Amino acid sequence: MNRTDLSTITNIIPGFAFKSKDFSSSGDLVVKIKDIKPPYIDIRSCSRVNTENYDRKKLLKYALGKGDFVVAMTGATIGKVGYHSSDDFLFVNQRVAKFEPKSGIDKKFVYYCVQQKTFTNFILGRLDSSSAQGNISADGIGKFPVPIFEYADQQKIASVLSALDAKIELNNRINTQLEQIAKILYDYWFVQFDFPDKNGKPYKSSGGKMVWSEELKREIPEGWEVKKLNKRVKIGSGYSFKSEDYDDSGQYKVITIKSVQDSSLDTEKTDRIDFIPEKIPPFCILEIGDVLMSLTGNVGRMCFVDEENLLLNQRVGKLLAEPAFVYFGYLFFLRAENRMKLERISGGSSQSNLSPVDAVKIKFAEPESSVMNTFHKKIDPIFQMLIKNKAENQKLAELRNWLLPMLMNGQVTVQ
């Protein structure tokens, strides 16, 4: 397979150095390194900049539209690529570079060229070590070797891979809506207390009897009891693996604190082990659908397990409860006020550490069993679909990652 430098098929344009004084709560969105969360740019975390004092025409060189993509040029995420999937107009900040394919080059093809693991490895192998943290220049990025294909073949390759990514993105959008529905249901039933009464009408709004709870400092439905969450939910802490047992080609991935992100499980850079330790607690052998919580650092992050052959490491917790209360606990801890409670009770000098025992001492109004059973019947199909979509995305991503180098190396051709 003949190859050429990346710079021959695309322009690599480092971002603009906006002045710090021009960043504000209003203005245009600006992509910084922190906003690159592969495979996307997370516009929710983007800063804004007032561009009134800049030459707008010159700034357009650093603008991003839907379908454009960027790479981090420094920092811990150097070499990571983010795709702009929304219609929002963005500018690229310094230390982030955008790709601008040249004439006769398919944009999606370039995107998949830099999606390869070999691209990240190439970047890491060419860092400028003269600075406090690794940096790479546009020229350095441009020397990455890419395969030479005719334009029609570029489009075919991109079409196959983008079809897989489109399905993943669709599932993600569906899951965002499913989780939003689940949160609304929880709020409606257990915060507003408008769960269906015996006549199918909203309880509190229809005059259902409420009683004052001194412990919660609010009214709760008559017949409900105030309890600590540990009466229904426990958090099992992960197993302490020995470093000498790790094996790069091991069958099992070890889930650590860095794997647990808000609403997603990241297993890209996990350590591996090739056997299940004899003394590991059974709950640390994870199954699809398990709910995990971060116990160190940014405590209280929650996510579902969406792949097999995972083992739970220390400082990551797993919700242990009957199915109805696993979902209840997940939605309970997702609420901002409860996340704040977890942060307040976390100790530690250099970083927060959350005790799995203390985490479930938070008090709540326990619903009557009939209400809880009805809630579970409504919420279970929502979470089952969400978990199914997550597991499907995992398989689709594995297929895409398997196909990508084979297509780029010409081992597989598209007719």
Length of the chain (residues): 415
Residue at token pair 């590991």: 280
Q: Are 233 and 319 in contact (CB under 8 A)?
A: yes
Using pLDDT thresholds of 50, 70 and 90, give the confidence band for residue 3.
very high
100 exposure class (CB count in 10 Å sphere: 0-12, 13-18, 19+): middle
Sign of CA dihedral 221, 223, 328, 383: negative
Q: What is the mean pLDDT of the chain?
A: 94
Q: In angstroms, rounded to a whole number, what is the distance separating the alpha carbons of residues 237 and 59?
A: 50
The neighbour count for residue 2, using CB atoms within 10 Å, is 7
Q: Which CATH number fits domain 150-195+368-415: 1.10.287, 3.40.50, 1.10.10, 1.10.1660?
A: 1.10.287
* pLDDT at site 126: 84
pLDDT exceeds 80 at position 333: yes
The number of CA neighbours under 13 Å toward the Cβ of 37 is 12
pLDDT exceeds 90 at position 4: yes
Q: In angstroms, rounded to a whole number, what is the distance separating the alpha carbons of residues 112 and 404?
A: 7
**CA of 337: how far to CAs of 57, 192, 300, 362, 401, in Å?**
45, 15, 11, 11, 39
Fold classification of 225-366 is Adenine-n6-DNA-methyltransferase TaqI; Chain A, domain 2 (3.90.220)
- Ordered DSSP codes for 144-179: -EEE---HHHHHHHHHHHHHHHHHHHHHHHHHHHHH
* pLDDT at site 355: 94
Question: CB within 8 A of 89, min separation 6: which ones?
Answer: 28, 29, 63, 64, 65
Residue 392 is encoded by which pair of tokens?
Answer: 């499907």
Using pLDDT thresholds of 50, 70 and 90, give the confidence band for residue 235.
very high
Average confidence (pLDDT) over 45-70: 94
Q: In angstroms, rounded to a whole number, what is the distance separating the alpha carbons of residues 145 and 56?
A: 34
Question: CB within 8 A of 290, min separation 6: which ones?
Answer: 304, 305, 318, 319
Residue 364 is encoded by which pair of tokens?
Answer: 């709540």
Average confidence (pLDDT) over 281-294: 97
Residue at token pair 């702009």: 84
Average confidence (pLDDT) over 57-67: 95
Cross-strand partners of 132:
none
The amino acid at 275: F
Question: Among candidates 216, 193, 174, which has minimal Cα distance to 389?
Answer: 174
Residue 398 is encoded by which pair of tokens?
Answer: 């594995």
pLDDT exceeds 60 at position 348: no
pLDDT exceeds 90 at position 130: no
Residue 20 is encoded by which pair of tokens?
Answer: 């710090």
* pLDDT at site 330: 97
- If DSSP codes are grouped into helix, strand and coil, which group holds residue 192? coil
Q: What is the DSSP letter of 368?
A: P
The number of CA neighbours under 13 Å toward the Cβ of 220 is 17
Beta strands 145-147; 40-41: pairing state:
unpaired
Q: What is the DSSP letter of 233?
A: -
Using pLDDT thresholds of 50, 70 and 90, give the confidence band for residue 412.
confident
Question: Among candidates 263, 265, 250, which has minimal Cα distance to 334?
Answer: 263
Identical topology for domains 3-148 and 225-366? yes
Question: Among candidates 318, 328, 332, which has minimal Cα distance to 362?
Answer: 332
Using pLDDT thresholds of 50, 70 and 90, give the confidence band for residue 234.
very high
Residue 260 is encoded by which pair of tokens?
Answer: 């647990």
Question: Among candidates 242, 202, 169, which has minimal Cα distance to 371?
Answer: 202
pLDDT exceeds 90 at position 347: no
Question: Among candidates 300, 361, 291, which has minimal Cα distance to 328?
Answer: 291
* pLDDT at site 241: 95
Q: What is the pTM of this model?
A: 0.89
Over the stretch 189-230, which tens digit does the pLDDT of each residue have? 999 999 999 999 999 999 999 999 999 999 999 999 999 999
* pLDDT at site 87: 93
pLDDT exceeds 90 at position 162: yes
* pLDDT at site 338: 96
Domain map (residue ranges) of the chain: 3-148, 150-195+368-415, 225-366
- Ordered DSSP codes for 95-138: TEEEEEEPTT--HHHHHHHTTSHHHHHHHHTT-BTTSSS-B--H
Using pLDDT thresholds of 50, 70 and 90, give the confidence band for residue 134.
confident
Q: In angstroms, rounded to a whole number, what is the distance separating the alpha carbons of residues 240 and 20?
A: 44
Residue 54 is encoded by which pair of tokens?
Answer: 């800049």
- If DSSP codes are grouped into helix, strand and coil, which group holds residue 244? helix
Cross-strand partners of 128:
135
pLDDT exceeds 90 at position 364: yes
Using pLDDT thresholds of 50, 70 and 90, give the confidence band for residue 37.
confident
Residue 197 is encoded by which pair of tokens?
Answer: 């009464």
Fold classification of 3-148 is Adenine-n6-DNA-methyltransferase TaqI; Chain A, domain 2 (3.90.220)
